[in-house]
Amino acid sequence: MTSRFQQELSGSLGEYWKAAAEKEIEKMSQRALDGEIFFGADGVCRWKSNNRILPTECRQKLAYTPYRDLFNEEACRAAEEKETAEALEAYRRSRRETTLEERMEMQAAFGKGYGYEKKGTGGADGSHQ
């Protein structure tokens, strides 16, 4: 399957988008040259500023630069999946049940039977009763 960026670069979406894609490649190459991106021995490319893996869209552009041999897309994808799973697990562990006191405060503020659990999620019980 061809990505939007590949379509732009091929010129199939017109000369404007082709020129824009070529400019994006130049920008990504410059960012690597400036040291904003570092390439690990494991084949994963990361932003120097926050140690996060480059998004897929950035890696697609980087693949057209002289730095293409310094990272491995499969390694980046695997590391991305692993880090996402770890972050979600940490988030789940940090969640806790509301205490009786907190529930009583919500009831006092919003009224008895208020669906505070689903508020903001579009859930059916998110309305004031």
CA-to-CA distance for 113 and 129, rounded, in angstroms?
6
H helices present in the chain, as ranges: 4-10, 15-33, 56-62, 73-94, 100-110
* Residue bearing the bigger pLDDT, 65 or 106: 65
Residue 87: Cβ within 10 Å count: 10
Average pLDDT (48-67) is 96
Task: Identify the pLDDT of residue 115.
Answer: 59
Assigned token pair, 115? 């669906």
Question: In the block, which residue shows the tokens 């999946």?
Answer: 81
The pLDDT tens digits for 21-42 are: 999 999 999 999 999 999 999 9
- Going by C-beta distance under 8 Å and a sequence separation of 6 or more, which residues neighbour residue 35? 48
pLDDT digits (tens, 9 = 90+) for 71-127: 999 999 999 999 999 999 999 888 878 888 888 888 888 888 765 554 455 444 444
Which residues are CB-neighbours of 36 under 8 A, at least 6 positions away?
47, 48, 49
Q: Which two tokens stand for residue 127?
A: 């309305």
